[in-house]
Amino acid sequence: MQNNNCKDIVLSFEDYTSKLSVILPKIYGRKPLACVNTFGCQQNVSDSEKIKGILEAAGYGITEDDENADFVIFNTCAVREHAEDRVFGNIGRMKALKKQRQGMLVAVCGCMSQQQIISDKIKNSYPYVDIVLGTRHSHKLPEYIYKRLTGAARIFDISEDFSEIIEGMPIHRDGSLKGWLPIMYGCDNFCTYCIVPHVRGRERSRCSFEIVNEAKAMVAAGFKEITLLGQNVNSYGKGLSEDINFAGLLKKINDIEGDFRIRFMTSHPKDCTTELLDTIAACEKVETHLHLPFQSGSDRVLKTMNRKYDSTTYLNLIKEAKKRIPGVSFTSDIIVGFPGETYEDFKETLRVVKEVEFQALFTFIYSKRNGTPAAVMPDPVSRAEKGKWFNELLLAQEEISKRNYASLVGQVHRVLCDEVKENGKLSGKTLSAVEIEFEGEPSLFGQFVNVKIDRFTNILEGTKI
């Protein structure tokens, strides 16, 4: 708890949680079920684990099946238009369900509903949605569910008052082997295409004491992989009263006793220091993999995107990382067809892709987000043309990925076995985040295993040694 304001919030949270747990069995005559439908990035998956924890504390059982739920909440993503369309399609399904299920409540929260225009659209066109919340309001859920169940009108709260991080909320983790650990919230970078800073608010770091304690509890509970989350983990620590940066935080978590791995996302190239690269190399639990989005290879486009680096700085950073971190692998995000991008600009992106030789890429065609600066920039290139560039990029990367994977044949890696596949084989990832399939007993699930890579077909296959 960071200040009195937070204390008040938590008091009212506890108050409504206990009130709700008293009335729920009376209303439903049994323990009601809640379903959390999650869209978007790992940050949302992590937020949904908190929402589930809160709902459990208030007396709900958790189900994955929204057709059997008494409370359905959609935790939404606004990053691209396609993501929003999917959410509206799913909310639409609730109309018929609600008619069949007495006492059922529907809520929408997260990045989409944080936008006034979307909240208004739901208010006007989706009358069967009972509660609308933004990205920083999940601690208010017990209060709003209680009020709605006891006769209040539909509730809409996307206020931006909650800038404090509220620690100590209950959490219902989806897995027991790999877990999410948010280290910061929000974003201050305002890339001109991106809605995230507008819906997630200003960057706020959690204090390292809270993070390290949570990591210790996860390790004690048997987690073998912890993924640190933030929109830009490399700027962790800014604004905190303690003197710490991301490299310092990695060291503290690496010092926790136990056999586990530390992953992190996402790294912004502008804040990736040589101190951080050396820390990654020196901390044996930290992955030797950097997800380092560069978005575009054209310096002109990068400037218009407000990314605050150019292609030369990015390529030098990659060279430095290759030199300092043995066996490092890279992945990246790329946007194709940013407003005003020409084929010449796009060829610069291809040039960077070929020079770096990424393990894999996450590629997106630019999607206009209202309220961002890029939304009003001239965008003359047709969707069909952008599609052609996009396919050219995919083809180029396919060749590179294949070459990259093939070069690993013969190597021995320690993998965390995290999947028993339908074909009976096991699969696990190396410290550099590369997946290998191998034969073995299902009891190896959850364990670290040494695997020799035998061949690359369309996947890497190996043998346990």
Binding site for ligand SF4 (CB under 6 A): 187, 189-191, 194, 196-197, 231-232, 268
d(CA 239, CA 440): 48
Determine the distance from the C-alpha atom of residue 392 to the mean position of all C-alpha atoms in its chain, rounded to a whole number.
27
Give me the 169-208 binding string for ligand SAH, x by CB under 6 A, dash otherwise.
Answer: ------------------------xx-x------------
The item of ligand SAH, ligand F3S, ligand SF4, none sharing an interface with residue 78, based on CB under 5 to 8 Å by kind, is ligand F3S
Query: Does residue 297 belong to the site contacting ligand SAH (CB under 6 A)?
Result: no
Q: What DSSP string runs through 343-377? A: HHHHHHHHHHHHHHT-SEEEEEE----TTSGGGGS
The item of ligand SAH, ligand F3S, ligand SF4, none sharing an interface with residue 43, based on CB under 5 to 8 Å by kind, is ligand F3S
Within a 10 A sphere around the Cβ of 345, how many other Cβ atoms? Answer: 21
Query: Does residue 293 belong to the site contacting ligand SAH (CB under 6 A)?
Result: yes
Output the residue with the shortest Cβ distance to ligand SAH. 333
Q: Which tokens hold the place of 295?
A: 């978005």
Q: Which tokens hold the place of 373?
A: 């600066």
Within a 10 A sphere around the Cβ of 30, how many other Cβ atoms? Answer: 10
Question: Looking up tokens 């830009």, which residue turns up?
Answer: 232
Q: How far is the CB of 50 from ligand F3S (least distance, A)?
A: 14
Q: What DSSP string runs through 221-259? A: TT--EEEEE-TTGGGTTTT-SS---HHHHHHHHHTSSSS
List the one residue from 115, 135, 279, 295 that touches ligand SAH (CB under 6 A).
Answer: 295
Applying CB under 6 A, the span of 9-17, 178-186, 193-201, 298-306 interacting with ligand F3S comes to 193-201
d(CA 94, CA 70): 11
Q: Strand, helix or coil at 50? A: helix
The item of ligand F3S, ligand SF4, ligand SAH, none sharing an interface with residue 111, based on CB under 5 to 8 Å by kind, is ligand F3S
Which 306-365 positions form the footprint of ligand SAH (CB under 6 A)?
333, 335, 364
For ligand SF4, which is the closer residue by CB, 155 or 365?
365
- Determine whether 110 is exposed, middle or buried from the number of CB atoms within 10 Å of its CB (0-12, 13-18, 19+): buried
List the one residue from 17, 37, 44, 304 that touches ligand F3S (CB under 6 A).
Answer: 44
- The upper half-sphere exposure of residue 435, i.e. CA atoms within 13 Å in the direction of its Cβ, equals 13
Q: How far is the CB of 373 from ligand SF4 (least distance, A)?
A: 11
For ligand SAH, which is the closer residue by CB, 266 or 311?
266
Query: Does residue 386 belong to the site contacting ligand SAH (CB under 6 A)?
Result: no
The secondary element (H helix, E strand) that includes residue 329 is strand 329-336
Cis peptide before 266 (omega within 30 of 0): yes
For ligand SAH, which is the closer residue by CB, 333 or 357?
333
Q: Strand, helix or coil at 144? A: helix
Contact residues toward ligand SAH (CB under 6 A) are 79-80, 193-194, 196, 231-232, 266, 268, 293, 295, 333, 335, 364, 366-367, 369
Contact residues toward ligand F3S (CB under 6 A) are 40-41, 43-44, 77-79, 111, 195-196, 200
